[in-house]
Amino acid sequence: MKWRNQLLALFCLAAFAALGVLYFQQWVVQKPFAIILFVGEGLAPRQLAPARMFVGGADARLALDSMPHLALLMNASKDFAVPDQAAAATALATGVKVNNGSLGVDENGQALITSLELARQRGRATGLVTDSRLTSPVCAAFFSHDHDVANTEKIAFDLTEGHKIDIVMGGGAADFLPASKGGRRKDNRDLLLELRSDGYDIMRTRSELENIPAWQRAHLFGAFADDEFAFPDQLQQASEQPTLADMVRRAIELLQYNSRGYLLVVDAGLMRKAAEQNNAERMLRAIAELDRAVATARRYAGARSTIVVCGDVAIGGMSINGMPFRRDNGIALLGLNARGEPWITWATGPSGMATSRAPALPAENSQPLQGGHAPQDEPAAFYLNDALNTAEDVLAIGSGSGTETLQSVTDNTTVFRLIRDNL
């Protein structure tokens, strides 16, 4: 009888525990296993319709369009109405408004904790992926604390010191190598060699990245370009580099083995570079690649994931004008229409005239466009070597736990709070 009572008590205890687990899983708010933040450099509302048109015409839909929550982000810095990349990214990374030119520090020079650092403290694996330089201001805002955005030698050291991030992939390899090995470091240190000796797998090509076993819980550092990645139309260089979607997929496969989940930050930086050059074709292709990377993340990260896509600061003031046909897409949107009018115009940048006046001057005063199109194909109203940042709200789009806070018009510091509350 005593044995039977003990067995019954054990059964009741097991049943109670099972019900408790079920209740916890179904009714108690759970933290997402995967949190992925995409920063599209320059991603503003005005770019969505042109990106859809470029991909497949006016009726096309992006992966971004299927995400349920959307907000406009106000992004002024602490001292200027128009932020630079460092201040805008620091607000996203730390939830604090800072002065232009500041990376992860307040106006008193005090270091601010970033979302990647906070995730590491809470036991999550961390990753940083970019198609730009890993030492660029947007990337650096998530791990560096400095007032000198131009000191890429120190920023590179900040990234490798202490092995703060588990999976790192991007460009800017020259900032990690000494001049004797084709790099830019003046201290003669080979940071990639130091990382390899500390247990990191160092990847330099797309094939090396793909050959890393998916089950391997590795520390990985991929340096796939000396500076920014090549654009897709630069076929020889681009073929040796992974795409943004490739890197996102591999990062998710390698980070998911951490039982406490992970935070992955993805910087789409080629969008900015193309916009600064007034090259709409390259910019729209870069947005399309960002969209593919987002679709890849949603497919591989699974249902228990929070995914946020946001811009940092708008650039260049690009517009599609005139009346393209509903099904026009791709290169049909570039150049001039049948009346000789440009489909695409910019507010500032290198395709303007070398004068402060509007581009209605004689052709001999025009400046060649770096992207390869004739100046009249994508004219800018005001000539500058690089297009300027603009005072324009940027986008924030999300799916998953916590992204319901993305609604209406809010501040860009909301992105940090959303991530912090779900870590």
Beta carbons within 10 angstroms of residue 344's beta carbon: 25
Is there a domain that residue 7 lies in?
A: no
**242 belongs to a structural domain:** yes
- Same domain for 306 and 326, yes or no, is no
The tens digit of pLDDT for each residue in 39-72 reads 999 999 999 999 999 999 999 999 999 999 999 9
Q: Please give the pLDDT value at position 30.
A: 82
348 and 400 together in one domain? no
Residues 362, 242 within the same domain: no
192 plus 338 within the same structural domain = no
CATH number at residue 41: 3.40.720.10
The mean-pLDDT minimum among 158-167, 179-188, 334-343 falls in: 334-343
Give the total number of structural domains in the chain.
Answer: 2
- Is 17 inside a domain boundary? no
pLDDT of residue 372: 41
Residues 264 and 375 in one domain: no
Do 126 and 165 form a contact (C-beta atoms < 8 A)? yes
Question: What are the beta bridge partners of residue 394?
Answer: 73
Are 183 and 243 within one domain?
Answer: yes
263 and 377 together in one domain: no
* Residue that wins the pLDDT comparison between 352 and 191: 191
Amino acid at the residue 312? D
Is there a domain that residue 376 lies in?
yes
332 and 223 inside one domain: no
> Is 270 within the bounds of a domain?
yes
Residues 186, 242 within the same domain: yes
Are the CB atoms for 386 and 277 separated by under 8 Å?
Answer: yes
417 domain residue, yes or no: yes
pTM: 0.88
Closest CA to 132 of 175, 164, 92: 175
Q: Which residues lie closer than 8 Å to 14 by C-beta, 6 or more apart?
A: none
- Cβ atoms of 80 and 65 within 8 Å: the answer is no
Question: Three-state SS for 221?
Answer: strand
- Would you tell me the crossing angle of helices 280-301 and 244-255 to the nearest 10 degrees? 20
The verdict on 142 and 197 lying in the same domain is yes
Q: Tens digit of pLDDT for each residue in 119-131?
A: 999 999 999 999 9
78-91 burial, b at 16+ Cβ within 10 Å, e below that, comes to beeebbbbbbbbbb
| Identity at 303, one-letter amino acid code | A
Asked whether residue 304 falls in the same domain as residue 324, the answer is no
User: Cα(45)–Cα(91) distance, rounded to whole angstroms?
Assistant: 19
**Does residue 345 belong to any structural domain of this protein?**
yes
Q: Are residues 260 and 361 in the same domain?
A: no
Q: 362 falls in which pLDDT band (50, 70, 90)?
A: very low
Closest of 28, 72, 95 to residue 418, by C-alpha: 95
Going by pLDDT thresholds of 50, 70 and 90, the confidence category of residue 214 is confident
Tell me the residue range of the domain where 344 lies. 320-386
256 token code pair: 């998911």
